[in-house]
Amino acid sequence: MSPINLKSPITVAHGDGIGPEIMAASLRVLEAAGAQLEIETVEIGEAVYLQGHSSGITAETWDSLRRTRVFYKAPISTPQGGGFKSLNVTVRKTLGLYANVRPCVAYAPFVETRHPKMDLVIIRENEEDLYAGIEHRQTDEVFQCLKLVSRPGCERIVRYAFEYARANGRRKVTCLTKDNIMKLTDGLFHKVFDEIGQDYPELEKHHAIIDIGAARLADTPEDFDVIVTLNLYGDILSDIAAQVAGSVGLAGSANIGDQVSMFEAIHGSAPDLAGQDKANPSGVLLAGVMMLNHLGQSPVAERIHNAWLATLEDGIHTADVYKAGRSKALVGTKAFAEAVIARL
Amino acid sequence: MSPINLKSPITVAHGDGIGPEIMAASLRVLEAAGAQLEIETVEIGEAVYLQGHSSGITAETWDSLRRTRVFYKAPISTPQGGGFKSLNVTVRKTLGLYANVRPCVAYAPFVETRHPKMDLVIIRENEEDLYAGIEHRQTDEVFQCLKLVSRPGCERIVRYAFEYARANGRRKVTCLTKDNIMKLTDGLFHKVFDEIGQDYPELEKHHAIIDIGAARLADTPEDFDVIVTLNLYGDILSDIAAQVAGSVGLAGSANIGDQVSMFEAIHGSAPDLAGQDKANPSGVLLAGVMMLNHLGQSPVAERIHNAWLATLEDGIHTADVYKAGRSKALVGTKAFAEAVIARL
Ligand SMILES: CC(C)[C@H](C(=O)O)[C@@H](O)C(=O)O
Ligand SMILES: CC(C)[C@H](C(=O)O)[C@@H](O)C(=O)O
């Protein structure tokens, strides 16, 4: 009998721009913490696009993903110009990653924020809406993009949000749509929210129009708990929430599907920062923590999360969150990872 | 020879919810300041919808608008349920009000804000995008909404924004789109921005993706000057900007067309506040100031604006901006208007 392999197979992509640095830093932490991972490394993004794959991804990578079912992905760049599809969207849609889970938490007083009490999770529908990718030229002068919303799509994400709230001891779920204008599409999302909400009598349920909802999120994010919304609104709201919590550099996310899941930072590849050992690896590291929980390696996940918190609390900060007076040491990507490892 | 009529004809709608109170208060201020207006009063909104006009507006109102070419409009309500079109959108589209101009300014230290230096204007495309109103049911389970973007539409709004910046001594114009995903529609908007921007060498020009742009607007709004963007983004961003400046209750707007223009508060009819003499009339009053400038009655406009500022500075505040310690008197709608009049 061959020995049982306790390691979880995962597919890792190091990405573009700051991707390779922050992914390397993060993997060092995961390894040092004792995460049991069997890594298949794949190449995606810029180089792959330029090899002629318009989606930025190859058949081998798809094979790996179907095998490991877990994708740990650094940010990537899409080359300028037409003809290149967004890799993030291709992966999310091809693998049916319908739920994009984005926690945004303030780490006051260690990271400066105007909203020290903020602790919310955005559950973003991840396959439909304007991201369906149906866009065309009607005439030389008129272009169209189709916004698609289906009942099964709404039901799945809304159900996911309520289940998430219940499982994580959250008390309130807020649905944001623009159904005063888009009465059919956004109207359906709102209607499904009201229907499915009835199965969760213990949870507070709210709906607001996206414009005033976004304004409240920007101004009083501490009033929100779980937010469930359509794809594009979720994209915009999660950057707002992460930023007012302290920095978009601190937020990780999980893209959940029935078969495969993907874990990534919510920020981009920041090419201007690349290769300087300056970027904050926290977003991809916290995505890694979400991945370890998903893989059933929760004790390791918790150890990393605590060490990471201790690092922030000790005032060891990368440039994006460094604040003279409040912070103690300004460190680079590698040194930040070492500091986390020292606190494991 | 009959005497020349120096009064500008305008169409006024008192609206629903808090509409009648704030419009009455505002008209009292305009009159007391010596605005030369010949008012045609029309009914729109809830009552008109319920009389069976699915658009909330009657043929007589259209006649009045085509005659006066200026619409001073209080917020209205659309009844719940399908079958009622948004009156705001109907008016904007029918009359070709292509530019929605929304200044958002902090009035620190008189009104509490985290962004005392903020002073920006959002120029929102006002006819196209998902507001084209093309939405349908594909199957029982699938709904679609069409996002429409045309080159003439982009050119007109982008040109307007640059001309506005030039005429108002602004230095920087920022374009926000999601053209990494919507390469044709949002891509066209961005492209037209780059093209037309070349005619304005003296202005700083920037583009950002809407998600990170919205996050920056929420976090550091003082970095923005003029923003030009598509309809739905402009809707969301203007609520964010007005709220972080102090209150959505303080922002007025102008909807500009080639023939007709409309002036309104950016907030809604707040039915829960109606009839209590509590609402802040500032949004509709500042829309009135924009209207007087549009009508060539700038000295009166300035007198009102200064008296309004003096009222805020004297700490005479409605509940939405009242802050114990900072404010001196908590007043209602009518008393606020009287305080402005006393300072004319
Ligand atoms: C890079 C881009 C395609 C992506 C999105 O729009 O979803 C990003 O902004 C995100 O939020 O993950
Ligand atoms: C009431 C609604 C139709 C309107 C809009 O979406 O444009 C409002 O939010 C606004 O910003 O003027």
Closest CA to A228 of A269, A274, A197: A197
B114-245: CATH topology is Isopropylmalate Dehydrogenase (3.40.718)
Report whether residue B235 contacts ligand 2, using a CB cutoff of 6 Å.
yes
CA of A235 to the centre of ligand 1 (A): 6
Interface membership of A274 toward B (CB under 8 Å): no
Q: Do domains B1-98+251-344 and B114-245 have the same CATH topology?
A: yes
Q: Residue B79: its pLDDT value, please? A: 82
Q: What CATH superfamily classification does A1-97+252-344 receive?
A: Isopropylmalate Dehydrogenase (3.40.718.10)
- The number of C-alpha atoms within 13 Å of A274 and in the hemisphere containing its C-beta is 16
Q: Within 13 Å of residue B158, how many CA atoms lie on the same side as its CB?
A: 28
Distance (angstroms) between ligand 2 centre and the Cα of B235 equals 6
Q: Which residues of A134-149 are buried (b: 16+ CB within 10 A; e: fewer)?
A: ebeeeeeebbbbbbbb
Please tell me the distance from the alpha carbon of residue A298 to that of residue B251, in angstroms, as a whole number.
49
CA pseudo-torsion sign A60, A64, A66, A69: negative
A147–B130 CB contact, under 8 Å: yes
Q: How far is B136 from chain A (nearest CA, A)?
A: 7
Q: What is the CATH topology of the domain spanning B1-98+251-344?
A: Isopropylmalate Dehydrogenase (3.40.718)
Residue B70's φ and ψ, nearest 5 degrees, are: -135, 130
Q: What's the alpha-carbon Rg for chain B, to the nearest Å?
A: 20
Q: What is the per-residue pLDDT for B2?
A: 54
Whether residue B184 and residue A146 make contact (CB cut-off 8 A), yes or no, is no
Distance separating alpha carbons of residues B51 and A230, to the nearest angstrom: 34
Domain ranges of chain B: 1-98+251-344, 114-245
- Render each residue's pLDDT in chain B as its tens digit; 344 residues: 455 668 999 999 999 999 999 999 999 999 999 999 999 999 999 889 988 888 899 999 999 999 999 999 999 998 876 678 888 999 999 999 999 999 999 999 999 999 999 999 999 999 999 998 899 999 999 999 999 999 999 999 999 999 999 999 999 999 999 999 999 999 999 999 999 999 999 999 999 999 999 999 999 999 999 999 999 999 999 999 999 999 999 999 999 999 999 999 999 999 999 999 999 999 999 999 999 999 999 999 999 999 999 999 999 999 999 999 889 999 999 999 999 999 99
For residue A303, what are the β-bridge partners? none
* Terminal-residue alpha carbon distance, chain B: 35
Sites in chain A below the pLDDT cut of 70: 1-5, 81-82
A146, A181, A218 member nearest B240 (Cβ)? A218
Residue A192 vs residues A98, A153, A158, B182: alpha-carbon distances, Å: 16, 10, 7, 27
